[in-house]
Chain A
C-alpha cells in the first residue's frame, strides 16, 4: 500500500519567517494530496490541496508544490503568525483503491512571537 513520510516532526520559526514541511509518497497511483491543520482538541481541517495534474497551488500565505517524478510534495507558509501554530498533516489519496487517505505522521509547528 501507500506510504507517506513527513518531515520534520517539529518545527519552530520566528513570527514573520517562512515554514516548509515536506512529504514523500511511494505509490505513483496517488492523485490527490491534501494538507490538514489540527488545532489542540479539534479534528483536522483542510487548509489546501493539490491534484496530480497541477504542480503548484497558492492560497494567500499558503502554497503547496508537487513533484510527481520525485514523488514528493511540500507545504509552504509565508509570513508566519502565532495562530499558524498547530499540527500539520499531509496525506495522499488513491481514488481507485477504496478512496483511502494515507496520512503522514504530522509536524508540530510553533511560531514564536
Chain B
C-alpha cells in the first residue's frame, strides 16, 4: 500500500499561472482533505470531501477549487496563482469512523 500519494513534491509557479495538485489514496478512505501549512499557523483546511461526490469549503477556500474524481483521487486546483499561495500543501484521507487522518508527504509550492 502506498497510502496517500501527492504529486508533485515541489513546484515553482509564476503569478497568474495555473496548476493542479494531485492526490491519490489506496486506503479506501471515504473522506479526503486538502490543508495548507504556513509557519506559525498550523494546518488550515482548504477544502474537504466527506464522501465521493461531495466537496465542501474549509477555512481558507478562496483562490482554490477541488475535484473528487473518484473515491481514490482528490485534486486541488489553483486557477491563477498568487504569492500568498506560497505554502506547503498536504492531502489527507480518513474513514468516516472515529479514526485518524493519514497524510501525504506534502507539496512545497512557491509562487513568484
B48 within 8 A of partner (CB):
yes
Shortest distance in angstroms between A88's beta carbon and chain B's nearest beta carbon?
11
Q: Interface size (B, Cβ < 8 Å)?
A: 29
B41 within 8 A of partner (CB):
yes
| Residue pair B104, A100 in contact (C-beta under 8 Å) | no
Measured CA separation A9–B41 after assembly (Å): 10
Shortest distance in angstroms between A6's beta carbon and chain B's nearest beta carbon?
8
User: Which of B62-70, B76-84, B93-101 forms contacts with chain A?
Assistant: B93-101
Shortest distance in angstroms between B80's beta carbon and chain A's nearest beta carbon?
27
Measured CA separation A39–B33 after assembly (Å): 20
Measured CA separation A45–B99 after assembly (Å): 13
With a cutoff of 8 Å between Cβ atoms, the chain B residues found around residue A100 in the complex are 33, 45, 48, 58
Please provide the 7 A-B residue pairs with the shortest distance between their CB atoms, ordered closest to farther.
A43-B103, A105-B42, A103-B43, A98-B50, A46-B100, A32-B98, A99-B31
